[in-house]
Structure 1
Amino acid sequence: MRLLNLLKIATKAIVLNKTRTLLTMLGIIIGVASVIAMLAIGEGSKESIRSTISSMGSNMITIRPGTDVRGGVRQERSAMETLKLKDYLALKKEATLLTYISPLVNGGGQVINGSNNWPSTIYGVNQDYLEIKITELQSGSMFTDAEVQSASKVALIGQTVVDNIFPNGQDPIGQMIRFNNIPFTVIGVLEEKGENTFGQDQDDVVIAPYTTVQKRILAINFLESIVASAVSEEEAPQAVIQVSEIMRSQHNLEETAEDDFNVRSMEELISTFSSTSEMLTVLLVAIASISLLIGGIGIMNIMYVSVKERTKEIGLRMAVGARGSDILMQFLIEAILISITGGVLGVMLGLGATVFIEKFLNWPTSVALYSIVISFIVCAVTGIFFGWYPAKKAAALDPITALRYE
């Protein structure tokens, strides 16, 4: 028999048993749809994380104080004061792979304007900070180097702070506010950025000169961290190495001594979160794939039933000249058709599910072409794998015994 004839026979058998075939496909449909939806959620999460972190400054490098060992006892990071202004100045002078660099100190407190107040965080930085964080000004201007050196009481505020302490829509520029009872003149309003993937409000900030925050808010003479921007995302790993070498030299650390600081790039953060997201995606896909296994077992079961029901038909075909390989191909094609058709319906359901998830559940999704290709391959393999044994059993039937079967 020709392949086209076998395909027609298999198709006719499927059409004659529509309800049974649809129920057989159900496991495949649900399995494929689940796999596509889970992969879409995983890919969407990774893209969202990368986008969010990139919006914070994809080239950003952060230097923080690290743990140290004193007298055999490892100190907590909070007890460390290893970052000094001289470290910032050395990095600014010697680090050739950094374009912008800023000290960073921060503290929490109440922002007050008249009878309006709002709990927020103040960040003490220099004028490079907005370039590092890729943040624009909506209005006003950044403070100058002279204002940093003189510890001027000037500040930039985010939109969330504006909305809560200037509720009547007045222009904040030039207005006097207080942070923990220290007066500040508002000289700029930051462009709205909204929440990031981690649910953090990026507009709930007050930015002031680091010298002002050090002296007037926190009363400290050390830096809590230093943030910088590498010349490019590709150079970030090399910039991390260069920064570490300069810091070790500044802190007079011996070759065998551990670092008393930590240097991290955004690429490491992206990699860490992406790895976590991938692991969760694999877990979800593995769970969803159980439906495919159940669907495959359903195909095997229905093919067994089909062989039993059509034993006489098989015997008759063999009696008029059909070979065992023809019978094998007939039932194998039938199993593959059921599986592939279920795969097509599953892909359609999966794509519909991703649209529903993104539109109504507000979860980021991204359908990758490879997820659809893999689904079709898995469907074909499922049809062959679970359809082979029943088809082989049909091909091995004795024609005479098959004709006598009741």
Structure 2
Amino acid sequence: MREHCLWQDTSPEPALKLAPLKGEHIAEVAVIGGGITGLSTALHLAEAGINVMLVEAGDIPSGGSGRNVGLVNAGLWIPPDDILETLGKEDGERVNTILGGAPAEVFSLIERHGIDCQATRTGTLHLAHNGKGEQELARRVEQFQQRGAPVELLEEAACRQHVGTQRIRRALLDRRAGTLNPTAYTRGLARAAIAAGAHLHTYSPATAVMRQGDDWQINTAEGCVRAPRLVIATNAYTEDHWNQVRHHFFLGHFFQIASQPLPDEIAGDILPERQGAWDTRTVLSSLRRDAEGRLILGSLGRGESKPAAFIRCWADRIQRYYFPQLDRIDWECTWTGRIAFTPDHTLRLFEPAPGILAVTGYNGRGVTTGTVVGKGFAHYLSQGDDTLLPLPIRPAKPITAAPLWRSAYESGFTLYHAGQCLRLVA
């Protein structure tokens, strides 16, 4: 079993060969971060005729944009009414409306730019693993349906038919959603941005950001770019001391493990419509199959810091719990990505300084949220209008005790997985 991201090997979109930033450059907007948010920003700015230059510390993608589960989900992690309670009615309904339509934005970009990312539009499944989970799903379905969302509660035979397990009696099917290969989607966004006229530079980590007259100057090892407006789209991969985004989230991780391809005669009844799924456990398990039939399991926590035997034991436990009809699974590879968490599970849009836009706190919903935020940033920068963003741009208070949040989450994830391996937790 290799420590390697499956999506990189199976991406139909080829890797892009881009040059590092060298010399001095001037742009109308500079973007730091070549993930989904930064690329969506650059693409939409270029399409609006704005001269935009993007710098990325590694390859495209090298962060969470290419390492996530590949779920094209609607909304935030928490249900619509909880969003209203957290953000207030006006902001909450704005989030629900804009992010409820986020999957359609993703699929529109895929179609418009011919991005070959193995996208499916058959929805996603939220699985109730026990009676309490069934109650939670019923609550969510009612809230979604009140807002006209194409969401339904699958029960008994219909649930078993969609999931392929006898363990689950009820599941929430969200027909707005779907799946994709996240590496391929991110590469496709980069290709589209270049075609529109954006300038992208990889292996160019920003070493400093400083004021130069009316402009912001971003320094890299071999060059610099000056622009009056700057977008910081580093999210969970924010580490540099100059980057104020690091004070507005606490770091989490999500690991995945993929099997060898499973032919339909062996696993054809498992997620037959290729929906992505996750359950209502305290520490969730994600389940999906890729275009070649692999079973891909995942959960919260830092996988690369644990022995391969631990990850394999956990995966065997989840597979046998949900899909005992399968024989012994040969696990092909495992990988881990980062998540930017916030205590209230909502994102943050803010200006760290005049002329700088920043975002963080996707809480595991980066594919759709990053796409929409990038489009909203571009509209705001070109039109001075922030109505396409899920939230207004306003001051944000730093998160206190972020290291404690991070430690508590990771310790809890590890203990929960250990309990699953030891059969102390179902």
**TM-score, with normalisation over the residues of structure 1?**
0.21
**TM-score, with normalisation over the residues of structure 2?**
0.20
- Considering only CA atoms, is the larger Rg found in Structure 1 or Structure 2? 1
Bigger share in strand: 2
